């Protein structure tokens, strides 16, 4: 039980660090852009007021996007695991599409495909519970 809690805390710390880094990048870039626009306005270039107003709108929209990603985004581990499963599913689907494979081979591929789809359906929960170790899977 304690190990599960420790894994959950570490996963949240990793997710929080990634979100903070993303937000710092966007806020830093948008802050620089907005400051440049304000400097033009202070210098008496009133014709650029629409440019400055649009930069504020861009900053607000970008802040909203960053908030949405940090609120509803997936952890990096989930994204990696989902991509790995997607490649596995694509490989199986491609193998099944070849002509001339036996019914027995097709049945094995179908079973592997169903297992991969089940893994993908429960991927987010499995990552959160710590039942999937990407280091052991090669991800």
In percent, the amount of the chain with pLDDT more than 70 equals 50
pLDDT at 65: 75
- For 127, other C-beta atoms within 10 Å of its C-beta total 23
Q: Are 27 and 63 in contact (CB under 8 A)?
A: yes
Task: Say how far apart CA 49 and CA 26 lie, in whole Å.
Answer: 23
Confidence class for position 63, pLDDT limits 50, 70, 90:
confident
Residue 97 pLDDT greater than 70, yes or no: yes
pLDDT band at 114 (very low <50, low <70, confident <90, very high): very high
Give mean pLDDT, residues 74-85. 79
Query: Average pLDDT over the chain, rounded to whole?
Result: 73
| Domain residue ranges in the chain | 2-72, 76-137
Q: How far is CA 93 from CA 80, 86, 102, 112, 125, in A?
A: 20, 10, 15, 10, 25
* Span 108-136, average pLDDT: 84
pLDDT at res. 127: 78
Q: Distance (Å, rounded) from C-alpha 121 to C-alpha 134?
A: 17
Instruction: Please compute the mean of the pLDDT values over residues 16-38 and round it to a whole number.
Output: 67
- Rounded (5°) CA angle 61-62-64: 65
Residue 104's pLDDT band (cuts 50, 70, 90): very high
Q: Looking at the predicted structure, is the pLDDT value of residue 48 above 90?
A: no
The pLDDT of 21-36, averaged and rounded, is: 69
């Amino acid at each position: 039980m304690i190990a599960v809690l420790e894994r959950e805390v570490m996963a949240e710390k990793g997710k929080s660090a990634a979100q903070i880094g993303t937000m710092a990048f966007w806020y830093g870039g948008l802050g620089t852009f907005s400051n440049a626009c304000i400097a033009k306005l202070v210098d008496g270039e009133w014709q650029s007021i629409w440019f400055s107003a649009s930069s504020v709108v861009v900053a607000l929209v970008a802040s909203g996007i960053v908030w949405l990603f940090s609120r509803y985004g997936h952890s990096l581990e989930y994204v990696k695991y989902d991509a790995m499963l997607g490649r596995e599913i694509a490989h199986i689907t491609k193998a099944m599409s070849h002509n001339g494979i036996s019914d027995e081979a097709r049945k094995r591929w179908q079973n592997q495909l169903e297992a991969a789809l089940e893994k993908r359906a429960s991927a987010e929960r499995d990552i959160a519970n710590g039942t999937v170790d990407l280091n052991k899977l090669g991800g």
